[in-house]
Amino acid sequence: MKVYISRIIPKEGIEILQNAGLEITQYSGKTEIPSTELIAICNKHDLFLSVGNNTIDRTFLEACKHLKGIALMSVGYDRVDIAAATALGIPISNTPDVLSKATSDTAFLLILAVSRNAFYMHDSISKKQWGFFEPTANLGIELYNKTLGIFGLGRIGLELAMKCKAAYNMPVIYHNRKPNKEAEKILGAKYVSFDELLTESDVISVHANLSDQTREIFNKDAFSKMKHSAIFINTARGGLHNEQDLTEALEHKKIWGAGLDVTNPEPMAWDNPLLNMRNVCVLPHIGSATIETRAKMAITAADNIVAAMQGKPMPQVIDKQVYSIRK
């Protein structure tokens, strides 16, 4: 059987696929594969290991009904029409858990960096602006005992909250579709309404899925309810915030600062004003980008592909119902 991989992935994943006897084609280009081309390629393969921004919508899925499985090398599946895949009997898997620690590290890094204007300070040295010492200049804010608000408290949010509690004794509040009892037990986290999350948090960190319900939920209205001293962190998906509204909130000092590992759109424009703001730190979507985590993600995706090849349920299938539809 043949598997198509839409990026070069770590060798740990490739070895699993090779050992299973799969014939592998890997895309090595540096631009996104156009949808029609991706359909044509997948039509020549039995399985698809999708990495990057491939849109797996109804059109793609109907044109690729023959696929025995699609393994995403990501935890997010906002570009995939899971309902259509289930209806067509195509199992789709993702890579949860293995990236929770690395992604929460990135959120933690951004919280600390924003609180001390770290990226801006770094840039100012390269612009020869390190001069006369002034005790009232370059001041940041401290995080000790400040309230951490998590929007979407799942595995990544839980990892972040544990770090913030251990490092800064931060009490944790959160807003989810449904309460996370495990997190409440481990962290003493308190479930609050979305409005309470906005008004009570000193740091808000976003870890929710991007969906029609959450798209641009952090907008002008939301930023206007946050504390003027609040830090906004997004390591989930850029589509969860309205970037124009965020820029205005920062320009008008409605909030203290922002740390983004994801932007809306991606990549962001080189002249985006956020890049020149002292209280803003931006990273190019590197949440899970460590040698260890990317290897684990490749292994998880490859294991899912091998299971699909063998006609077994993918261990990380997103919608188990697909197996009652698939013959």
Which are the catalytic amino acids? 237, 266, 285
First to last CA, the chain: 19
Binding residue for ligand DGY, selected from 6, 100, 234, 288, defined by CB under 6 A: 288
- Alpha carbon distances (Å) from 253 to 16, 44, 118, 216, 257: 51, 54, 18, 20, 8
Show the site string, 103-122: x = touches ligand DGY by CB under 6 A, - = not: --------------------
How far is Cα 309 from Cα 30, in angstroms, rounded to an integer? 28
Q: Work out how close the CB of 76 gets to ligand DGY at its nearest, in angstroms, rounded to a whole number.
A: 3
Nearest to 92 by CA among 73, 117, 111: 73
287 touching ligand DGY, by CB under 6 A: yes
For residues 187 and 160, the answer to whether their CB atoms sit within 8 Å is no
> Looking at beta carbons only, is 146 or 294 nearer to ligand DGY?
294
96 touching ligand DGY, by CB under 6 A: no
Structure token pair of residue 16: 């699993």
Structure token pair of residue 308: 């699909």
> Looking at beta carbons only, is 75 or 306 nearer to ligand DGY?
75
Binding residue for ligand DGY, selected from 50, 74, 104, 201, defined by CB under 6 A: 74
Of 73-81, 149-157, 271-279, 302-310: span binding ligand DGY (CB under 6 A): 73-81
Binding residue for ligand DGY, selected from 99, 172, 280, 306, defined by CB under 6 A: 99
75 touching ligand DGY, by CB under 6 A: yes
For residues 79 and 54, the answer to whether their CB atoms sit within 8 Å is yes
76 touching ligand DGY, by CB under 6 A: yes
> Looking at beta carbons only, is 13 or 287 nearer to ligand DGY?
287
Q: Work out how close the CB of 77 gets to ligand DGY at its nearest, in angstroms, rounded to a whole number.
A: 8
157 touching ligand DGY, by CB under 6 A: no
> Looking at beta carbons only, is 69 or 287 nearer to ligand DGY?
287
For residues 231 and 206, the answer to whether their CB atoms sit within 8 Å is no
13 touching ligand DGY, by CB under 6 A: no
Q: Work out how close the CB of 64 gets to ligand DGY at its nearest, in angstroms, rounded to a whole number.
A: 21
> Looking at beta carbons only, is 45 or 155 nearer to ligand DGY?
155
Nearest to 56 by CA among 13, 92, 17: 92
301 touching ligand DGY, by CB under 6 A: no
> Looking at beta carbons only, is 180 or 316 nearer to ligand DGY?
316
How far is Cα 246 from Cα 117, in angstroms, rounded to an integer? 17
- Residue number of the CB closest to ligand DGY reads 76
State the number of binding residues for ligand DGY (CB under 6 A): 6
Residues that bind ligand DGY (CB under 6 A): 74-76, 99, 287-288
